[in-house]
A and B are shown apart, each in its own frame.
Chain A
Amino acid sequence: MTPFLTRTRGRQRLHWTDWLAYAYLCLGVLLMFGPVLWLVISSFKTERELQHYPPRLLPYVQKMEKVPGYSDPLPVFKVTAGPLAGQEVAQVRRIGIVSQVVRPDAPQTIVKVPIKDRKPVEHVALATSNYAKLFKRFNFFQFFYNSTFITVVATIITLLINSMAAFALSKYDFRGRGTVMALIIGTLMIPPTVVLVPLFLIVRDFGMIDTLWGVIIPGAATPTGVFLLRQYMLTIPDEILDAARMDKASEWKIYWRIILPLSAPALAVLAILSIMWRWNDFLWPLIALQRQEHFTLQLALNSFRGEFNTDWASLLAMTVLTLVPIVAVFAFLQKYIATGIASTGGK
């Protein structure tokens, strides 16, 4: 096996392992992007096309044609067998298994064709109405504002209080530090899903149910965040802090002028994680928020799910819209994430 397992890379022409690597990467692009691309395309399909089998890549709609003598446009079919085989016809009506059609050039003569012997003529068309409907139907910007407010404020609070705690836990030697660390690591593993009911009751007792703060505050002290930042801060040399102390900096000033800037990569990682969690969070906001004016995009998106029916066309369009901001943020923070994970996860 191959230089492929090492990081040595020749300067010569492409080795066959390079081809293999590129093949793997291209497969990766297909596999990683493909499904999402399909999601985006599907969001431009009509509800009817969404239900179509076999599923087709592009959004099709049936061709409709205005035929003289008929007030509404008629659906166009192609006849596959019989005397009219190969011709495009417009269907006037269908009775049972027989279809009554007319040739566009002879709109008066009705011909009977078995429904087996005709195929709809279709063309690609984007159902942009899926999107237009969203803005018409409800106050999209209210939900967008709520989601953004929750995400931004929660991320700022998360970064602030978790970095403060991580600073204390990494740079001070005090009684009880071990206990606090153990508690935090212990709960690192308990998924919030299993404590929904007690958490709901506590948040209620704080009077935060049905407020954006009820969504923001409970998740702000993430054990993962403290852990991540602490690991990173441990690598900052204590001498720098001592130097700052000699420079007459207060401990708070050391925290925000020295520790915070130096932890920027780790903070960027936590920021993107937090933004992701908050933006995509569904279960907890669903419980904590009740009024529609407080709803987040994820909640609004899911309100297309009824008891029996799901409005897929709207739901997909909304999904794509909620995806856009997070992808933009990611594109912006991308390079920080790479270096950030490099220096936090590895140690």
Chain B
Amino acid sequence: MSDLELRGVTKAYGAAQVIKGVDLHVAQGEFCVFVGPSGCGKSTLLRMISGLEPISGGEVRIGGEVVNHLGPAERGLAMVFQSYALYPHMTVRQNLSFGLENLRAPKSEIAERVTAAAQMLQIDKFLDRRPKDLSGGQRQRVAIGRAVVREPRIFLFDEPLSNLDAELRVEMRGEISRLHRRINNTMIYVTHDQVEAMTMADKIAVLRDGRLEQFGRPLDLYNTPDNTFVAGFIGSPRMNFFKGHVRGGAVTLDAGTTVPLPAGKFQLAEGAAVTLGIRPNGMKPGNAGLPLTVASVERLGGESYLYGTAPDGTAVTVHSPGQTRIEPGTQIALALDADDAHLFSTDTTRSLLRKDA
């Protein structure tokens, strides 16, 4: 059990810089999720931590010790791969014990740890099967089991649930969370799915284009996103963004409506180009407000979503609790809740929230 620290970590393939300097500290026992769109460098960063990918610059410290020069085997980590990477020619038992054998653990200890891990993950019935005879979820458990038996300092997960169907994914999500609570180990988890990130993480690191966009607790990221990217990425459905300008303490949207802002919450400069962000549940169909042409309606029974466009062409999603009578094709007005609003500079995309507020 150790903490992990990245200091100015970079990675370049020839001239192409893939990781552009990441600083990060994951405390001991924390469950940290790396999230970002595909190609953002999150898997590369994980492989650099694991030692499978050499580090071009900066430092990786595990338990305070610089491990840049160490190979994957010496860092004391374990990894669960996206494709599980089970050894197809070995039985489950052999898969689980392979790493321990490499560590020259005594046979009795190997057996003990394998049994324990298998029981914990409920794969003890399949120990003598080969991977090809297992279902997707069972394979996933074996892959996790292979990491568990090693009792590593840090667990690394590389999009481990992306090959499972929706139902299993939810189940395994819970399983991994329980596992974390149980062994309370440092875990780094890579995913492109923000729901996974929100539900599982102690801390989320949002990555884009080789850079760390924001690092923090899930709800902090949700409530106070640092920039439009994080704001758009965290939360589902996505936050709505409206372009506009500051006009005397309020924002005049390009769509025509003016939204007053709570005083003192944002750093406002008169006339500045800003982007107003409101989550779908920050708006209500009302009598007056932002006009919206409804294109389609999703009725989920307990709640409904309206999809439409504002007069300036901005796509808008609105959450409506309960069942709605609004039909596609009608025009409605939206009341915007200014207390729920986020404001960003259009030029820098950074949040205009006052830090001291």
Contact = CB atoms under 8 A, between A and B. Distances in A.
CB–CB under 8 A between A and B in the complex? yes
Interface of A: 237, 239-240, 242-250, 253, 257-258, 261-262, 264
Contacts of B82: 239
A250 B72 CA distance: 10
Given A245-B73, A247-B146, A240 B52 contact: no
Contact of A253 (B52, B85, B89, B102): B102
B52 A242 contact: yes
Nearest to A246: B79
A237 B51 CA distance: 18
Given A239-B85, A240-B88, 13 more contacts: A237-B83, A237-B85, A243-B79, A244-B87, A244-B98, A246-B79, A246-B99, A248-B73, A249-B98, A249-B102, A250-B73, A261-B89, A262-B89
B85 A247 contact: no
A152 to B, nearest CB: 24
Contacts of A264: 89
A242 B89 contact: no
Closest A-B pairs by Cβ, 8 of them? A247-B99, A248-B73, A239-B85, A243-B85, A248-B102, A261-B89, A245-B72, A240-B85
13 contacts: A239-B83, A239-B85, A240-B88, A242-B79, A242-B81, A243-B81, A243-B85, A243-B86, A246-B78, A247-B99, A250-B73, A257-B98, A262-B88
A246 B98 contact: no
B50 A246 contact: yes
A262 B52 CA distance: 21
A243 B88 CA distance: 12
B73 A249 contact: yes
A247 B98 contact: yes
Contact of B72 (A246, A253, A257): A246
A237 B88 CA distance: 11
A264 B89 CA distance: 10
A264 B88 CA distance: 12
Contacts of A242: 47, 50, 52, 72, 79, 81, 85
B150 interface: yes
Nearest to A248: B73
Interface residues of B, number: 25
Interface in B214-235: none
A57 B135 CA distance: 59
A246 B86 CA distance: 12
Task: Give the one of A240, A242, A247 with max B CB within 10 A.
Answer: A247
Given A246-B73, A246-B79, A258 B87 contact: yes
Nearest to B76: A248
B181 to A, nearest CB: 24
Nearest to A253: B102
Interface of B: 47, 50-52, 71-74, 77-79, 81-83, 85-89, 98-99, 102-103, 146, 150
A241 to B, nearest CB: 8
A244 B72 CA distance: 10
B200 to A, nearest CB: 21
A246 B102 contact: no
Most interface-central of A237, A248, A250, A258 (chain B CB within 10 A): A248
Contacts of A244: 87, 98
Contact of B102 (A237, A239, A240, A247): A247
B87 A246 contact: no
Nearest to A243: B85
B143 to A, nearest CB: 8
Nearest to B143: A243
A245 B87 contact: no
Contacts of A249: 73, 98-99, 102
Contacts of A243: 79, 81, 85-87, 146
Nearest to B100: A247
A282 B57 CA distance: 59
A247 B150 CA distance: 8
B79 A248 contact: no
Interface hub of B50, B88, B103, B150 (most chain A Cβ within 10 A) = B88
A334 to B, nearest CB: 21
B155 to A, nearest CB: 11
Nearest to A236: B88
Contacts of A250: 73, 102
B81 A245 contact: no
Nearest to B147: A246
Contacts of A253: 102
B311 to A, nearest CB: 50
B89 A246 contact: no
Nearest to A240: B85
A239 B46 CA distance: 13
A308 B77 CA distance: 76
B158 to A, nearest CB: 9
Contacts of A246: 50, 52, 72-73, 77-79, 99
A87 to B, nearest CB: 75
Contacts of B85: 237, 239-240, 242-243
B81 A239 contact: yes
Contacts of B77: 246
Nearest to A247: B99
A70 to B, nearest CB: 75
Question: Which of A242, A250, A261: most chain B CB closer than 10 A?
Answer: A242
A313 to B, nearest CB: 50
Given A237-B83, A239-B83, A245 B52 contact: yes
A1 B78 CA distance: 59
Given A237-B83, A239-B82, A248 B89 contact: no
Contacts of B72: 242, 245-246
B193 to A, nearest CB: 20
A146 to B, nearest CB: 35
A163 to B, nearest CB: 15
A167 to B, nearest CB: 16
A340 to B, nearest CB: 15
A96 to B, nearest CB: 79
